Structure 1
Amino acid sequence: MKRKSLLLALTVLLMFSVALVGCSGGSKETADGEKVLKVWAMGGEGQKLPELVKQYEQQNPGVKVDVQAIPWGNAHDKLMTAVASKSGPDVIQMGTSWIPEFANAGALLDLTSYMEKYPNLKEENFFDGAVQTMKHDGKVVGIPWYVETRVLYYRTDLLAEAGYPEGPKTWDDLKDASKKLTARGEGKYGITIDGRDQITTALFGWQNGSELINDQREPLFNQPEYVESIEYLKSFWDEGLVPQGLDLDLTAAFKDGTIPMFISGPWMIGTVKEKAPEIDGKWATVVMPTKKTNTSSIGGSNLSVFSHTKMADEAVKFVSYMSEKETQLKWYEMANTLPSVKEAWNDEKLKEPLVAVFGEQLENSRPAPFVKEWETIAQAIIASFEQITVGDADVKTELDALNEKAKEILNK
C-alpha cells in the first residue's frame, strides 16, 4: 500500500512538473515567427515595465517582450520553482540580496563574455556599491537596474533652532541635536531609528569600521567596531531620544515636528510632499552623519539572464537597453526609482537638491553582506537589537550570542 501511494505521489509530481514547464517555459516564437522574450519583473515595476519595453520592440523588429508581473511576496518561491524545472524566463529582476543564493544554484548566466559587445554592462558605468552586487565567484551574474540608498531627512527649521541648519554632520552632532530637540518638552523626540529594518544596524556598523562578515565568511558582530555602534544606538533609547512605540505615523510626526529627523530611502520624498505639503521648504535631505565614514547601504534590483534561456543574445541585448542613459532616465520618470548608471545623474532631472543628495550618498554606499544566508542572519540581528534596546539585554552578552547564531547559520 505504501509503495502504491509513493508511486501515485511521484506520478502527480511528474505531471505537475510537466504542466509547469508547459505553462511557464522560457523562450518561444509566435505563429508568425516573432521571437518572444520572457521577462519577470516584481511588484510595481512589473506593472509599469510593459510601457517601457515598447521602444525596445520598435528598435528590435521580430522580438516581442512578454513581461510577467510577479508580486514580491511570491517571487522567491516562483524563482525557486523555475530553477528546479529549468524553465523560467529569459530575463529576471533580482533583488540584490537574492543574487548569491540563485547564483550559487547555477540559475544565472555568466555575462562576462558579453561585456565587449555590450559596453553598457561594464562595471565603470555603475556606482562602486552596485558593482559589488554584479559578481559571484568571479562571474558577472547581474547588471544594476535601479538603486536606492538611505539618507537623513530633517526639518530645517527645527534643526536650525537646535544649531544645525544644514543637518548633523557627525555622530556627535546627531546625538547633540537629538538631545536638544527632545528637550523641547514632553512628547517631543530627536529622531526615530527603525530597529526592524534589517539594514539599520549595518549602516552604523559600517560607519564605525565594522565589516559585519569578512571575506572568510566569519561574522564580526561581537568585535569592538560593531559593539560600539550598537552601544551608540542603544544610548538613544536609554536617553529617551527616540519614541518607544512601533505604531508611529512617521509622516504626521515629521509634519508636526514631533520627530524632526529620520533615516529612509528616496521613496519618502514623494510621500512627504504628498502628505505634508504644509512643510514645503521646511525640510531637506542630507548624507548620513560620519563616524569613521558616512557609509550608507545600496539596494535596488539587478537584471539577470536565466542560465537555461534559449535566447541569451536577445536577453543580454535587452539588459543592455535597460542600462542606456536615456532608458534609465525614462524609467526614473515612470517608476520614481533612482538610476544605477552614473552618467544619468548628470541630467537636470536629478539635480533637485532633495534627490541630488541620494546621488552624493551613492558614492559612499555598499550592499548588505553578499552571502546567501544574509536574510536569515538579518532576522537574528533584528531580534538581538530588540532585546538590547527594548529588553535591556547586556550589549556584549547579546552580541556574543548573535555572533554564535550567525556562525551556525553560515556553517550549515
Structure 2
Amino acid sequence: MKKKGLVVPAVLAMGLSTALAGCGGGSGDSENTLSVWAMGEEGKLLDEMTEAYEEENPDVTVDVQAIPWDQAYDKLLTAVASGNGPDVLQLGTTWVAEFADAGALLDLTEHMEDYPDFNLDNYFEGAQTSMKYDDQIVGIPWYVETRTMYYRTDLLEEVGYSEAPATWDELKDAATKLSESGEDVYGLDIDLNDQITPFIFAWQNGFEFDTENPDFTSPEFTEALEYYTSYFEEGISTTSEGIDIIQAFKDGQKPIFFSGPWMINILNDQAPDLEGQWAVATMPAKENNLSSIGGANFSVFHNSEKVDEALDFISYMNEVDTQIEWMEKSNTLPSRLEAWEDPKLADDEMYSVFGEQLENTKGAPPIKEWEKVAQELLSSIERINIGGADLDEELESFNEKANSMIE
C-alpha cells in the first residue's frame, strides 16, 4: 500500500541514538497488558483479531492502538526519544531501515530458533530484505503487496491483443494503439506520484542497487528512465491527473494501469458494470518482469519488558490460518508462502496473479535514506516530463544528490 514518504528532521535524526541510550525499560501499561501499535485501517481491524489470541492466552490482554499513517512517524519518534513505546509495532517496509538504524527495534536473531514461523524461508524472497538490517533480524513480514498490471480485456482485444502485453515492446505497442483509438485516451496510466514505478522499470532492465557505490547513471538505469519518460513524451501517458482512475478505467480513457491488490475490491465495488471486461496480469518483462514488494512488518520495540509475549503474539498473527483470516478481513495479502496454497488464493483468477508476481519481486534497499532518495528521483522526473529538462543532465544531478544523501 502506498504510504506517506518520510522526511526526518536532521536534529531529530541525530538525536535518536542519544535518546535511546538514556531510555529505561518497560513500555506496557500493566503486567498483563501487551501494547501493540498498528497503523491505518489495519489498526482498526487488528483489534477485532485479538479476541481469539486472548482466549488461547488468558493471562495476556492485548491493547491495540490504531494510529493514522500520517501521525505514525511522529508518534514513533516521540516513543523512541522517551522510551515509552509499545511492545509490538507495525512498520511499513520502507520504514524499517531508518528505525533499525536508530536502534529502536529489538534484534530477534537469538529468538529465531524458538519460533519456526519466523524462518526466512517461510517468506517471499523479496520480503526477506525488509526483515534484516545489517546483521540483525528486526522484523517479521505481516502482510505483503506488489504491483501488477490492470487492463481492459475488451479494449485490448480491439487493438489486437487477446492476452495481456508480456514485454516492454508489447506494452508500448498496445498502449500506443489504445491512445490512437479515441480523443483523450491514454493507453497507459503512470502515477507520477508513485515513487516505486521508476525503480520497477529499472529492475526489469537489469539495474542492481549497489549500497557501497550506487550509480543512477548506469546504462541499465538510464535506459529504463528513457523508456519510462517516453510514454509522456509521446502522449501515451498524461502528466495531468485528470479524472479519477476508476472512472477513467471504466470509461476507457485509461485502459491500462499498475496497482496493488487493494484495487480488486475497489473495481468490483465501484465499477460493477465492468465485470468480465478487465483482468490483472504480471508485469511486462524486459530482462525480467520484476515488480516491487511492500507491505508491513511486525517488530518488537527495543526496550519492551514483554519480549516473550510480544513474540508469541507475532507468531500467532503469522500462523497460516490466522493469515488467511486476516486476508478475508482486511483484503491484504499473506506474507507466508504456505498461505498461498489455500484455494481462496490459489484458485482465484485475480489473487493467483499476485501470488505469481510475488515470486518475482524486489524490496526497497535496506538503507535509511531510501525514502528521500526516491522522492528526489520523482522531482527529477517531474522536471523532465513537465519542465522539459534533459534526461541525462537530470540523472547526473540526481546521482550526485543521491550519493550525497547516502554518504
TM tier, smaller: over 0.9
For residues 260-303 of structure 1, what are the alpha-carbon distances to aligned partners after superposition, in whole Å with 9 as ceiling and x for unaligned? 10000011111111111111000000000000010000000000
**Residue of structure 1 aligned with 2:215, choices 217, 220, 223:** 220
**Residue of structure 1 aligned with 2:116, choices 116, 119, 131:** 119
Distance 2:29 2:386 in 1: 55
RMSD of aligned alpha carbons: 1.6
Output aligned runs, 1:87-98, within 5 Å: 87-98=84-95
Deviation at 1:46, TM superposition (A): 0.8
What SS class does the counterpart of residue 253 from structure 1 fall into?
Answer: helix
Is 1:132 aligned with 2:129? yes
Q: Residue type of the partner of 1:308?
A: N
Deviation at 1:25, TM superposition (A): 6.4
Q: Residue type of the partner of 1:58?
A: E
**Residue of structure 1 aligned with 2:361, choices 352, 357, 365:** 365
Partner of 1:85: 82
Deviation at 1:185, TM superposition (A): 2.4
Q: Residue type of the partner of 2:217?
A: N
**Residue of structure 1 aligned with 2:197, choices 196, 200, 221:** 200
Q: Residue type of the partner of 1:245?
A: S
Output aligned runs, 1:40-59, within 5 Å: 40-59=37-56
Partner of 1:8: none
Distance 2:261 2:227 in 1: 25
Q: Residue type of the partner of 1:98?
A: W
Q: Residue type of the partner of 1:347?
A: D
**Residue of structure 2 aligned with 1:165, choices 162, 165, 173:** 162
Partner of 2:147: 150
Q: Residue type of the partner of 1:396?
A: D
Partner of 2:235: 240
Output aligned runs, 1:258-297, within 5 Å: 258-297=253-292
Give the gaps of 5 or more residues in structure 1. Answer: 1-16
Distance 2:79 2:29 in 1: 16
User: Is contact 2:239–2:385 with CA below 8 Å preserved after alignment?
Assistant: no
Partner of 2:402: 406
Give the gaps of 5 or more residues in structure 2. Answer: 1-18
Distance 2:243 2:168 in 1: 24
Identity score, percent: 53
Partner of 1:332: 327
Is 1:305 aligned with 2:300? yes
What SS class does the counterpart of residue 184 from structure 2 fall into?
Answer: coil
Q: Residue type of the partner of 2:68?
A: P
What SS class does the counterpart of residue 210 from structure 1 fall into?
Answer: coil
What is the aligned length?
A: 385
Distance 2:257 2:115 in 1: 40
What SS class does the counterpart of residue 108 from structure 1 fall into?
Answer: coil
Distance 1:191 1:167 in 2: 13
Partner of 1:5: none
**Residue of structure 2 aligned with 1:397, choices 390, 393, 396:** 393
Distance 2:193 2:294 in 1: 17
Partner of 1:375: 371
What SS class does the counterpart of residue 130 from structure 2 fall into?
Answer: coil
User: Is contact 1:195–1:201 with CA below 8 Å preserved after alignment?
Assistant: no
Q: Residue type of the partner of 2:312?
A: K
User: Is contact 1:154–1:283 with CA below 8 Å preserved after alignment?
Assistant: yes
Distance 1:149 1:291 in 2: 18
What SS class does the counterpart of residue 353 from structure 1 fall into?
Answer: coil
**Residue of structure 2 aligned with 1:105, choices 102, 105, 110:** 102
Deviation at 1:352, TM superposition (A): 1.1
Q: Residue type of the partner of 1:36?
A: T
What SS class does the counterpart of residue 181 from structure 2 fall into?
Answer: coil
Deviation at 1:182, TM superposition (A): 1.1
What SS class does the counterpart of residue 242 from structure 2 fall into?
Answer: coil
Deviation at 1:259, TM superposition (A): 1.1
Is 1:317 aligned with 2:328? no
What SS class does the counterpart of residue 194 from structure 1 fall into?
Answer: coil
Distance 2:384 2:365 in 1: 22
Q: Residue type of the partner of 2:52?
A: Q
Distance 2:110 2:326 in 1: 27
Distance 2:266 2:81 in 1: 40
Larger Rg: 1
Distance 2:240 2:99 in 1: 37
**Residue of structure 2 aligned with 1:65, choices 62, 65, 70:** 62
